[in-house]
Amino acid sequence: MAYRPVQVFASLAQKDRDKKARFVDENEDKDRRVVRKNEVEVSATGELSLPPDRARVTVVVTSKKEAVLEAKTSVQRRLDYIVQVLQTHHVKEGDTQISKVIHRVDGLYHMEGEVRVVFVDFLKCQGVCNFLVEKMDESVVVATPEFFHSPQRLEELRRQACLLAVRNARQKAVEVARLLRSTVGQPISIREESCREWEGPPAQGQSHDQDKPMTYQERIAMATVTVQAKVFASFELKPKEKGRAPSGGR
Buried b (16+ CB within 10 A) or exposed e, 16-31: eeeeeeeeeeeeeeee
| In the chain, domain spans | 39-51+151-239, 54-148
Q: What is the DSSP letter of 95?
A: G
- pLDDT tens digits, 28-78: 555 444 445 688 999 999 999 999 999 999 999 999 999 999 999 999 999
Q: How confident is the model at residue 16, as a pLDDT?
A: 53
Cβ neighbours of residue 88 closer than 8 Å, sequence gap 6 or more: none
* For residues 141-149, average pLDDT: 96
Q: What three-state secondary structure class fits 120? A: coil
- Span 54-148: which CATH code? 3.30.70
Cβ neighbours of residue 53 closer than 8 Å, sequence gap 6 or more: 120, 149, 150, 153
Q: What is the DSSP letter of 73?
A: H
The third-level CATH classification (topology) of the domain covering 39-51+151-239 is: Translation Initiation Factor IF3 (3.30.110)
5 pLDDT higher than 50: no
Choice among 14-18, 233-237, 246-250 with the minimum mean pLDDT = 246-250
Confidence band of 243 (pLDDT split at 50, 70, 90)? low
Cβ neighbours of residue 234 closer than 8 Å, sequence gap 6 or more: 39, 40, 41, 42, 187, 188, 189, 190
* For residues 149-156, average pLDDT: 96
- pLDDT tens digits, 85-136: 999 999 999 999 999 999 998 889 999 999 999 999 999 999 999 999 999 9
Q: How confident is the model at residue 17, as a pLDDT?
A: 52
